[in-house]
Amino acid sequence: MVLSRAECQDLDAKDPLGAFRDEFSLPPGVVYLLGNSLGALPRHTPERVAHAVETEWGVHLGASWNTAGWWDMPQSTGDRIAPLVGARPGDVLAGDSTSVNIFKVVTAALPLRPGRRVIVSDLDNFPTDRYVVEGAARALGAYEIRDVGEAGSSLEDALGEDVALVLLSHVDYRTGEARDMAAVTELVRAAGALMVWDLCHSAGALPVRVGEADFAVGCTYKYLNGGPGAPAYLYVAPRHQDAVHNVLSGWHGHAAPFDFEPHYRPAPGVRRFATGSPPILSYAALNASLDIWERVDLDEVRAKSLALTSLFIDLLDDLVDPGLGLALATPRDPERRGSQISYRHPQGYPVVRALADRGVVGDYREPDFVRFGFAPLYLRHVDVYDAATALAEVLGEELWRDERYAARLTVT
């Protein structure tokens, strides 16, 4: 039993998160289903960034390292991210990119398990995770990478007394499948290995609990609306914070940075994972979005996310002929789902282009994934209805055959 457009509008009128939509500046005439790639712009971000540029930098200049809290940005911003991943303030540091943070965390973690020389990674991780693990293994030397996932073995089979560390994504970037973080963490830790989570595709989309995990990393430019290339973050479990070493040991992670001591001496806690000068303008934008996130109930986000994603699946089940080649890649079980729905389709790329021409923005990932992200703060049921009917039309009328949609853009 699928909803009508009018019923969708009724649900939107009663949506407890409905008011948040007005806090975002959305592109006109578009159903934006790429909040899982680049989150929409919060309305008050331009003002906050302009203040950082014109007043903090332009007027107060270097004094702002103190007076505007620039120096503390990695920690103060990390403190604001912490509740979004179920961590305590003080256990999260914001900065650098996700890739750099994976490198920091993996190289810091491995020495905690001397004698164990295997890193388990998932071929279904976002590729940068696997690439950075290769780089970390190369830097440290004598580590082996064991792959799990679609093309490898199961996690259970991969675990053993030689495994030092497991790096997995909470939500798969292509299929939108969510792992049970608590259960996987328990399995990995029971095998004596360290658990590192990549939260890029889950934080802000559903309640995340780092729980007993050892480390985690994530980005802030997807569901968290921090802006393009916004500072990423890392989490270090309190039990490890003063035992680990950051090989990217820059002066911002020094115990006494302004004493200009000749040798590195790590700051207490997660601050030791800071490295160089933080890109303040990008932190300003991120903090503007966190002003919104600190008022959000993540259980309400999860409930709406499941309602929107289930509605999308149900509508497409109803509207699209099974012979048209559209295959759901995301689990039907809501518990195993992030806030993204992916389909496989042999003509995935032109399908996405044809949809975009009709005002529905999704994206494509090799080899044949069509992805739609559902950001519950600014998407409505009626948007989901319009997106599903547009997709059904593109497929049913084979609008993707238009030759304009064949040519690849550099970045999709």
Residues numbered 96-155 forming contacts with a copy of itself, rule: CB under 8 A:
96-100, 103, 107, 123, 126-128, 130-132, 134-136, 138-141, 147, 151
Nearer to a copy of itself, 110 or 341 (CB): 110
Q: Give the residue, chosen from 3, 23, 45, 169, that forms a contact with a copy of itself under the rule CB under 8 A.
A: 45
Residue 239 annotated in active site: no
- Binding to a copy of itself (CB under 8 A) within 15-34 occurs at 25, 27-28, 32, 34
- Reply yes or no on whether 104 is catalytic: no
* Residue given tokens 């999709």 in the structure block: 412
CB nearer to a copy of itself: pick between 228 and 346: 228
User: Which positions make up the binding site for pyridoxal 5'-phosphate?
Assistant: 98-99, 126-129, 198, 201, 221, 251
Among positions 207-246, residues that touch a copy of itself (CB under 8 A) are 219, 221, 227-232, 245-246
What is the spatial distance between Cα 261 and Cα 289, in angstroms, rounded to a whole number? 37
Min. distance of Cβ 203 from a copy of itself in angstroms? Answer: 15
Report the distance separating Cα 227 and Cα 113, nearest Å.
36
Count of residues that interact with a copy of itself, criterion CB under 8 A? 94
Position among 8, 11, 49, 109 found at the interface with a copy of itself (CB under 8 A): 49
Rounded CA separation 88/235 (Å): 10
Which contiguous run of DSSP H or E holds residue 168?
strand 163-169
Q: Is 160 in the site for a copy of itself (CB under 8 A)?
A: no
Whichever of 204 and 278 has its CB closer to a copy of itself, that residue is 278
> Helices 73-81 and 280-293: crossing angle, nearest 10°?
30
267 interacts with a copy of itself by CB under 8 A: no
Q: Judged by CB, which is closer to a copy of itself: 86, or 348?
A: 348
Q: Which of 80, 222, 365, 380 is catalytic?
A: 222
Among the listed ranges 9-17, 44-52, 377-385, 399-407, the one in contact with a copy of itself (CB under 8 A) is: 44-52
Contact in structure between 213 and 170 (CB atoms under 8 Å): no
Give the nearest distance from C-beta 120 to a copy of itself in angstroms.
14
Spatial distance between the Cα atoms of 362 and 32, rounded to a whole number of angstroms: 7
Nearer to a copy of itself, 284 or 377 (CB): 284
Interaction mask 337-366, a copy of itself, x per CB under 8 A: ------------------------x-x-xx
In whole angstroms, the minimum distance from the beta carbon of 161 to a copy of itself comes to 24
* Region class of 359: left (phi > 0), else alpha (psi between -120 and 50), else beta: left
Helices (H) and strands (E) in the chain, counts: 13, 15
Using the contact rule CB under 8 A, the part of the chain among 164-172, 179-187, 260-268, 302-310 near a copy of itself is: 260-268
Which is nearer to a copy of itself, 211 or 279 (by Cβ)? 279
Please report, as residue ranges, which positions from 172 to 211 form the binding site for a copy of itself (by CB under 8 A).
Answer: none
Instruction: Give the list of residues 6+ apart from residue 274 with CB closer than 8 angstroms, or none.
Output: 74, 75, 93, 95, 250, 252, 253, 267
Could you tell me the two tokens for 238? 């309190």
Q: Rank residues 77 and 185 by Cβ distance to a copy of itself and give the closer one.
A: 77
Residues 308-337 that bind a copy of itself (CB under 8 A): none
Based on the shown chain and the rule CB under 8 A, indicate whether residue 250 belongs to the binding site for a copy of itself.
yes
CB 374 within 8 A of CB 339: yes
Residues 55-94, interacting with a copy of itself (CB under 8 A): 56-62, 64-66, 70-71
> Which one of 18, 83, 279, 334 is in contact with a copy of itself (CB under 8 A)?
279
CB atoms within 10 A of CB 98: 23
Closest CA to 339 of 203, 186, 188: 203
The most distant pair of C-alpha atoms in the chain lies apart, rounded to whole Å, by: 70
| Distance between CA atoms of residues 398 and 394, nearest Å | 6
126 classed as catalytic: yes
> Which of the following is catalytic: 24, 32, 103, 126?
126
**Residue 262: partners with Cβ closer than 8 Å, 6 or more residues away:** none
Catalytic option among 79, 122, 198, 214: 198
381 Cβ neighbours under 8 A, 6+ residues apart: 3, 8, 9, 11, 12, 15, 307, 308, 311
Which residues in 8-41 are b (16+ Cβ under 10 Å) and which e? beebbeebebbebbebbebeeeebbbbbbbbbbb
The one segment of 112-120, 233-241, 274-282, 399-407 that binds a copy of itself by CB under 8 A: 274-282
Catalytic residue annotation = 126, 198, 221-222, 371
